[in-house]
Amino acid sequence: MTSSTNRITPLLIAALSTIGPLGIDMYLPSIPAMAASLNCTEGEIQLSLMTFFLGLMFGQLFYGPLSDKFGRKPMIYLGLSIFVLGSIGCAFAESVMQLHFLRLIQGLGGSIGMVIAFAIIKDLYQGPMMGKMMSMVLAILGLSPVLAPLIGNGLQHLESWRAIFIFLAVYAAIVLIACASLLPETRSKQHSASFKLSKTFHHYFKIYFDRKFIVYALTLCIAQAGFFAYLAGSASVFITEYKLTATQFSVLFAINALGLVAAAIFNPKLHQKFGALKTYRLVNTAYFIVIGLLFSLLCMGYHNLYIVCAGLFITVTLLGFIMPTGSQLALMHQHEHTGTASALLGSMQFGTGAIVSAITGALAAWGGLGLILVIFVCALVSALMCNTLFEKQDADLQQPSFK
């Protein structure tokens, strides 16, 4: 690749990665307005987040193997085209059932961004550089939850919630054109020719039961499930229970996202000092301690807005260390079928996200206590797993990385 291509590729990867998160975050402050417009409850609108997650889950299983066979760019064209059509459909939905179905379609298209982004990184980079790239992309990606609710809230006030989905369609179309013009094909012809689609399920089975993948992947999925619970439940908690306005919630959501960005930027420095594996253990343990303390305070009756905000800010920041490091550990040994492994990891992440979103919705009557309980359980299980199941003898992951 040329130097200019080297500079633009990370930006295109980040732009691709933002498609799914924008579809998640941008409409959150508009949930009450959407419920009023479609004559349904806020809970029914929240279910559209679950159907979007399901689309993200199934779409990644589809795109991963096809990208290994036919290349990354053809799948980008297909996925983004589906996302554009699904977004336009959501903008004109006339009932909540239509919205649920169209959000599923939108998720099927939006899933292309994440699976292809990590596959391209794995195509181009190895070792510490791969971790650095994942962290850099996540840092840029962190601008999505910072800006998305604010943009969505602004579009709602200027026009209506339907303008949010028109914006998503236009944005995806721009990314599609940019990738067609500027992104190189990173999947080698030799690897594509040797990949057989008929063995897709065999590859999924093989990767799933590879201990160098599954232990790290499951720990990441369970830890990140706490983040999905936060996404699903935070709007109702802060707007309904703590009486924040949609604009105030958008600002709070953006502040928490800034913590995610800061963590992603600082994450490579922790890898250099401690190594990826030890970093992962440390931040997972800290994640459990912080959310455990917040859960204890809520159980004792300290339902103070500032305490909840501070606790969730630290929690989300720690997840900014956990998510790129967990992805790096899970994919580090998957050299032959990178797209398939990335797809399996992504589908597992959003599958747990769909389950946790449903659980969070079921506990909505518990308010903030129910939300923090779900995150606490996720943090507890992930901390136990990474402190008991990880292979301590993996020297490549245990040692610090230095330039």
Task: Give the Cα separation of 234 and 127 in Å (integer).
Answer: 36
Show the CA angle centred on residue 186, arms to residues 183 and 187, nearest 5°: 140
What are the tokens at 225? Answer: 């499930």
**Residue that the structure tokens 């797209």 belong to:** 339
Task: Give the Cα separation of 120 and 112 in Å (integer).
Answer: 12
pLDDT of residue 3: 47
Q: Between helices 42-70 and 96-124, what is the axis angle to 10°?
A: 40
In this prediction, the residues of the chain whose per-residue pLDDT falls under 50 are 2-4, 393, 395-396, 399, 401-403
DSSP collapsed to 3 states, the chain: CCHHHHHHHHHHHHHHHHHHHHHHHCCHHHHHHHHHHCCCCHHHHHHHHHHHHHHHHHHHHHHHHHHHHHCHHHHHHHHHHHHHHHHHHHHCCCCHHHHHHHHHHHHHHHHHHHHHHHHHHHHHCCHHHHHHHHHHHHHHHCHHHHHHHHHHHHHHHHCCCHHHHHHHHHHHHHHHHHHHHHCCCCCCHHHHHHCCHHHHHHHHHHHHCCHHHHHHHHHHHHHHHHHHHHHHHHHHHHHHHCCCCHHHHHHHHHHHHHHHHHHHHHHHHHHHHHCHHHHHHHHHHHHHHHHHHHHHHHHCCCCCHHHHHHHHHHHHHHHHHHHHHHHHHHHCCCCCCHHHHHHHHHHHHHHHHHHHHHHHHHCHHHCHHHHHHHHHHHHHHHHHHHHHCCCCCCHHHHCCCCC
Q: Do 278 and 163 touch, CB atoms closer than 8 A?
A: no
Determine if residue 127 is left, alpha or beta; phi over 0 gives left, psi from -120 to 50 gives alpha, anything else beta: left
* C-alpha closest to that of 145 among 82, 227, 217, 79: 227
Q: What is the pLDDT of residues 20-43, one digit of tens each?
A: 889 988 998 888 788 889 998 777
Q: Do 336 and 199 touch, CB atoms closer than 8 A?
A: no
pLDDT of residue 389: 78
Q: What is the pLDDT of residues 106-151, one digit of tens each?
A: 999 998 887 788 778 877 777 677 777 766 666 666 677 778 888 9
* C-alpha closest to that of 27 among 142, 156, 138, 171: 156
Half-sphere exposure of 324 (CA within 13 A, CB side): 33
pLDDT of residue 195: 62
Q: Which CATH architecture has domain 3-180+200-392?
A: Up-down Bundle (1.20)
**Residue that the structure tokens 């939006």 belong to:** 110
Give residue limits of the domains in the chain: 3-180+200-392
Phi and psi torsions of 239, nearest 5°: -80, -45
Task: Give the Cα separation of 357 and 57 in Å (integer).
Answer: 13
Give 393's contacts (C-beta < 8 A, 6+ positions apart).
Answer: none
